[in-house]
Structure formats: C-alpha cells, structure tokens
Structure 1
Amino acid sequence: MCGVFGAFCKNGSSVLEDVYLGLYALQHRGQESAGIAWNSENGDEVNSIKGMGLVHIALDQKQLASISAHSAIGHVRYSTTGSSGLANAHPITANYSMGSVAIAHNGNITNATGIRNMLESRGAIFQSTTDTETIIHLMAHQSHKPPLDALVDALRRLKGAYSLAVLLGNRLVAARDPWGFRPLVLGRREDTTYVASESCALDIIGATLVRDLEPGEMIVIDETGIKSLRIPVQASRKYSCAFEYVYFARPDS
C-alpha cells in the first residue's frame, strides 16, 4: 500500500532529516513517489516537497537540511486509487478558511467515489484522483467547526482502511481506522514524538517504540503533550490485512 511517517519536536528542533530517514526505512511500502510536508513557524501555511521515484531521487536531502521545521509528515506511495503521477503524490496539502492541513494516507477508502460525487455536485473542485483528497474536502464543508472537530467528522463518514499522519496547524495528528486494517505505531526519542507505519522507521533514527495505535484511535501531539481520542464509529469486529505480514511489512518491524 503506502508508508507514512510523522514527527513533532516540542523543543523546536527541525525534524525534516528524521522524516527523510523514516521514509527511507519505509521504502519497501511504496516506490512510485515520495513527499514531505511541514508547517511554517506560526502554523499558518503548509509547505511540501514531492517527487516521483524512490526517496533518494524524489527528495533532495540537502535542500531539506537547509529548512527548519519542528513538525512534519512524509509519505511513500504504492497507488491503489488514482493514477501514478505527481498530482497524486502525498502528502495532500491545502490551505482553507480554518488554516492549513496536510495528510499522508496509507489505505483505501471504499466509499470515496460516492463521497467525491456528492462533493462535486456541491461545487467541489478536486486537484487529484486520490481517495485521500475527499478528507480535505469533507473538512472544508465543516469549516464552521475547529479543524480537529472537522477532521473527526470527516473520518466518521469514511468506510475502508486508513492510517493517517496529519498536520493541522501546529499539531501532528495520527489516526487509525476503527477496523484496524493498516498498522500505525507511536514512538519517542527525547523531546520528539513520532508516528510511523512500521517500527523499523523508528529504529533507523534511534527512537523507542511506545505502542501501536488502537483501531479507531486518534492521537493529537502538540507542545502540551499527547492526547488520545476515539473516532465515533462502532466496528463490529477488527480486521487486519494478511498481506501486511506476507508482502508489505519488513520482517524486523
């Protein structure tokens, strides 16, 4: 499927090198494209670098080293919805009336086509053919709500698999679908907190695995610490994709 990675450092140190290395460790999860998104110092604007191919080709490590950002997310893509092109490379980013948002997604939203048709009938204009972009449009339709509430409301409407790393202003948010299809782990090293598709991405930067996110769990990371929330969807049972263990995941994760 894909690989996601996110980092937040509460002492203000740049995390872009960590995100680059985390994606390098997750390269086996996607070789089509790679990207990193980060927030401006005040969190008002989201910036990104994306490219086609492997991490070391798609992303300029020297350029990233010249940029300082205390929160960032990254993605390596193995497309399941939408074509393999730069327009569909993640993270998907946007600036809307309530601030900036960037989303890196591993999974497949099975009701995305229906949601997209509904949104387009109401005037939404999509910039890609990925299912992930529907999340941002659902948030924009709830622009009277705070961004975190709008994200929760958007996720409540989704069916299928998603493990997400999201930048909301100066916060890093991670979420796992209520069925637990795709993995997502939480890690830590000193003042920096990480989320990743697999623990091997924590090992490469010397971070410690804290735990797996529970199915249906959302965690919010900011300067005050970590807060755990529940996505308000009842799942009758938990599922996991067998291909994670026989095809996608690294054996040392």
Structure 2
Amino acid sequence: MISPFDEDKPKGECGIFGIYGHPDAAYLTYLGLYALQHRGQESAGIVTSDREKIYYHHGMGLVVNVFDEERLSKLEGDIAIGHNRYSTAGSSTLQNAQPLVREIFGETLGIAHNGNLINAPYLRRELENKGAIFTSTSDTEVIAHLIARSGQIFIEDRVLDALMQVRGAYSILFMTRNGMIAARDPWGFRPLWMGRLKDAVVFSSETCAFDVIEAEPEREIEPGEMVIVTPNRIRSVKFATERHAFC
C-alpha cells in the first residue's frame, strides 16, 4: 500500500471536480475532468442531480472516451461531481470507478475521493465483521459504509462522523439531491480548491479546471476543513486541527 506519509513521487493522483447551482453542471464537469485528465486515466465518472433524481454514468478510459454528447445530455440537473481515477488502493476495474453512488437510509449519496486511507484495511475488516458487504476494493466504499452506520441523523453529521474515523490523505466531495460537501484531510496532503462561476460554487483538485470553465478561484479548502453547500447557504466546519507533514 502507498502511504500518504511517503515522500512525494512523480505519480498521478485522482482528479475530482464539483459544481453546485449551474444549469450546465454535467457539461462543465466534463470540461473540468478533461482539464484534470493528467491526474488519472483509468476511469471517469459523473453524478448529477436535478434536486429530485440522481443521474450517473461512468466507464473505463479517458474522459473523451467515456462521455459523448448523448451521454452528457442524460445527466440532468444543476449539481454535479466528477472523478478521474488513478488507483492507489483497489484494482483497475469498473467496480472501482467513481464517483461511488450509494443509497443510505433513503438518501442517494455520490462520493468522489482522491487519496489513500492508511487504516482502510482495518476499518474494512471491522465493518465486515459487523455484516457490511463490499462490492468494490476501493477505500471509498469504506467511507460509504461508515456513513451508513453512523448514528447521526443529518447527512453532514454522518459524513463528519466517518471522516473522524479515517486516517490518511484525502480530498473528497459528497453530493446529495440538494447539497454538496467538500472536505480535506487534516494534513492537507491532497489539494482541493473552491471557486465561483457567477452564482455557482465550484470545487476542483486543481485550478486549471477553473480556467477551462472561466471560474474564479476563491481559496483552498483548509486542512481539516469541511465546506457544506446547501440551497440557502455555505458554511465551513473545522473537524480536525491542521497538522503539518515533515519533509
């Protein structure tokens, strides 16, 4: 397993992108993933919401091979998250392609995750011992099961509960029918930016994706920060004290 505490090496990492509140969410996410293609070439996927239903498509290969005009037209809504995969944990199969989509107590949740959880094998064994059934080998499904088994009521509290249990490097986007959550690990190992495109809120692994859709970078998500976007407001929660890696 690749540890997030290893010295950085010239390797790819997954690319994640999200946009909230834009009528062309799917197409803009496609452009964002295209700009982030260098971060992962194994698979690509997009999840969208029209505030009532969730739409999803993923496939193996490059963004331009996975999506065409017809497929994008079926991804309705003004909320979207997308993912380009470079595997650090789990095999290169369609089952491990993201975003991951799961039904959790009547709420459809999409998850786009860039990172590597060093305690994922332990958490996976613990969850399996409690009856959890996994359909992939990726770390991301561990997070989904932690959210599903949380005793909290609201989805943001369930996400927070899950993030408090994982260890490692990650930047991650969660999407429901009406909301989006962006979070970054306490060490800040994986990049995550927040920007604006008129009234829309945008998140991306790198600002190059903002450039291609003409969005304005606003700030980096801070280490140990969770940003929650809902129809009425945007709020920030610090779930962990910022830590610093020693080089």
TM-score normalised by the chain length of structure 1: 0.89
Deviations 1:199-243 (A, max 9, x none): 000000000000111101110112223111111x345x3239x8x
- Secondary structure in 1 matching 2:210: helix
Q: Structure 1 residues 66 and 119, CA, compared in 2 at 3 Å: closer, same or farther?
A: closer
Q: Mark the runs of 5 or more structure 1 residues left unpaired by the alignment.
A: 243-253
Segment of structure 1 superposing worse, 59-68 or 91-100: 59-68
- Secondary structure in 2 matching 1:204: helix
Deviations 1:8-64 (A, max 9, x none): 01xx6231110000000000000000000122432xx53310000000001233321
**Is 2:18 aligned against 1:6?**
yes
The number of residues matched between the two structures is 235
Maintained 8 Å contact 1:46/1:93: no
2: CA distance, partners of 1:62 / 1:238: 45
Cα distance, 1:66 vs structure 2: 4.4
- Secondary structure in 2 matching 1:195: strand
What is the correspondence of 1:75-114 to structure 2 with a 5 Å cutoff? Answer: 75-114=83-122
What is the correspondence of 1:205-224 to structure 2 with a 5 Å cutoff? Answer: 205-224=213-232
Segment of structure 1 superposing worse, 162-171 or 123-132: 162-171
1:18 aligned residue = 28
2: CA distance, partners of 1:143 / 1:57: 41
Maintained 8 Å contact 1:31/1:53: yes
Maintained 8 Å contact 2:49/2:76: no
Maintained 8 Å contact 2:195/2:210: yes
2: CA distance, partners of 1:126 / 1:190: 40
What is the correspondence of 1:87-236 to structure 2 with a 5 Å cutoff? Answer: 87-142=95-150, 144-231=152-239, 233-235=240-242
**Is 2:244 aligned against 1:238?**
yes
Q: Which of 48, 66, 75 is the aligned partner of 1:38?
A: 48
Structure 1: 4+ residue segments shifted above 4 A: none
2: CA distance, partners of 1:188 / 1:144: 31
| Amino acid in the other structure paired with 1:31 | Q
Maintained 8 Å contact 1:20/1:61: no
- Secondary structure in 2 matching 1:36: strand
2: CA distance, partners of 1:46 / 1:130: 22
1:51 aligned residue = 59
2: CA distance, partners of 1:223 / 1:97: 21
1:249 aligned residue = none
- Secondary structure in 2 matching 1:17: helix
- Secondary structure in 2 matching 1:132: helix
TM-score normalised by the chain length of structure 2: 0.91
Q: Structure 1 residues 144 and 21, CA, compared in 2 at 3 Å: closer, same or farther?
A: same
| Amino acid in the other structure paired with 2:230 | D
Maintained 8 Å contact 1:98/1:147: no
CA RMSD of aligned residues (A): 1.6
Deviations 1:148-186 (A, max 9, x none): 101000000010001001103310110000110010000
Maintained 8 Å contact 1:15/1:70: yes
| Amino acid in the other structure paired with 1:29 | R
Q: Mark the runs of 5 or more structure 2 residues left unpaired by the alignment.
A: 1-12
1: CA distance, partners of 2:183 / 2:111: 11
Maintained 8 Å contact 2:192/2:203: yes
Cα distance, 1:144 vs structure 2: 4.7
